[in-house]
Structure 1
Amino acid sequence: MSKVLTVDPSLCTGCHRCEMWCSLTKYGEINPSRSNIYVLRREPAVDVPVICVQCGLCINACPTGALKRDGATDAVVVDADVCSGCGTCVKICPYGVLRLDEDTGVAAKCDLCGGSPACASHCPQGAIKYEDINKAAARRRELWAMACAVRIRG
């Protein structure tokens, strides 16, 4: 069964553990600037994890073919040996979650940690989950409905 990352911003406390675990898992250092997940603070005290939704828009945009979909996880992954660091994928990403790594010069993005995302497994509040696509779709519908209700009432 296919799985995806989901985010429930109402559960995020802004601890940034997801960023720390991501950078530690991917780069061997606790350095949020090298994380492939981002926690943005919006006042008043609302923290929102921003993740790659693995949409794949970057795949066709890449002039060198360095971005491909992993058959096992369905994640879009970067082949660092093929990436030229041109930044086309960064420009095309509608969510702003691709970046050029300052140390390596190649594109960096969430690859779902090979099917066991560190961000989800270390989120103490359960704000980030790696779950079945049908459960994730139901969660997204509920979050969308709640957001719309707040706007209508607000």
Structure 2
Amino acid sequence: MRSAFVGALLGATLAIPAAAQEAGDPAAGESEFRKCRACHMIQDGSGADIVKGGATGPNLWNIVGSPIAHMEGYNYGDGLLAAKAANPDLVWTEEELIAYVTDPTAWVREKSGDDSVRSKMTFKLARNQADLAAYLTTVSPDTPAE
């Protein structure tokens, strides 16, 4: 009985991505965000630049705790819109961000239930996903308390 429990526990632990098993380091995530600046900026609600960056992707200010595909006027891709249609109450959490930046197309396919959709974001973050998500939480002042 004990070995079955240990096996089940080990199997459940291995099923969770390594990045999601530990809390991220916001300072390391701030450094990691350099990879994202080509497409994303972080500009607060008053228009002040926190991190100057591109406008190809949406502004990531206050992203954690916000509904997916919520920014007015931004032209979201079909994959993210399909994920939103299938999950209208889905919000960006650290866990969802970790999964999304690891493989955006796999994430929109899973969330939408449609294997034909793709994400406009082609970049995949191979490591330090939890750090990036922890950093984005620090620039999300409206994040609900857990």
Bigger proportion of residues as helix: 2
Would you call these one fold, judging by a TM-score over 0.5? no
TM-score, structure 2 as length reference: 0.27
**Higher strand fraction: Structure 1 or Structure 2?**
1
TM-score (norm 1): 0.26
